[in-house]
Amino acid sequence: MAHAATLISAALAFTGGILVAAQGPIYARLSAGLNRDYLTAVFLAFATATVLTGLLALLLGSFRNLSVASLGQLPIWVWLGGLFGAIHVVISMHGIPVLGVTLFLVIVVTGNLVGAAIYDHLGAMGLEVRAFSFAKGLGMLLVITGVGIVARS
């Protein structure tokens, strides 16, 4: 059973990666159509996501356990996720037309990996501590080398 859950999670992560690769060009085109008004483009993109996920959550009853008390018990830093997402969208709107989708995303993935290694090593944000190792460092070095290869191609 655990093996099936791992395969399903990996397939979903892969699918998510394909969808993330589509977001950048979509956001870049949206901002271009709005005379490079990044803030309006981010607002419209996030408003669409908010309305659609809100309707889905309402239909599925997800809000029934929501309370001011439960929200008040959350650490303040959990609210940074949306802010970081908005910042990333603005960065993608600017970066993709300059770098192209492939180079932009290999650089983003490299940043993801560096951040992830730090967060894992520190056990940041409530994560289980997963120490940095030589093998992880070597893998990250190979990714950085890959960025250089993509940038030169």
Sequence-distant (≥ 6) Cβ neighbours of residue 27 within 8 angstroms:
41, 42, 45, 89, 92, 93, 96
Cα separations (Å) of 27 from 24, 47, 52, 105, 108?
5, 13, 17, 14, 15
Name the residue ranges covered by the structural domains of the chain. Answer: 2-152
Contact 44, 30 (CB under 8 A): yes
CA-based nearest residue to 125, from 60, 75, 61: 75
Please state the length of the chain.
Answer: 153
Q: What is the pTM of this model?
A: 0.78
Residue 56 confidence (pLDDT): 96
Pull the structure tokens for residue 140: 């990250």
Residue 28 confidence (pLDDT): 87
Residue 123 confidence (pLDDT): 94
CA-based nearest residue to 43, from 5, 82, 12: 82
Mean pLDDT by 10 residues, the chain (153 residues): 84 88 88 91 93 96 91 92 90 90 90 91 92 92 90 88
CA-based nearest residue to 108, from 10, 4, 23: 23
Q: What are the DSSP calls for 77-121, one per residue?
A: GGGHHHHHHHHHHHHHHHHHHHH-HHHHHHHHHHHHHHHHHHHHH
Residue 1 confidence (pLDDT): 61
Residue 27 confidence (pLDDT): 87
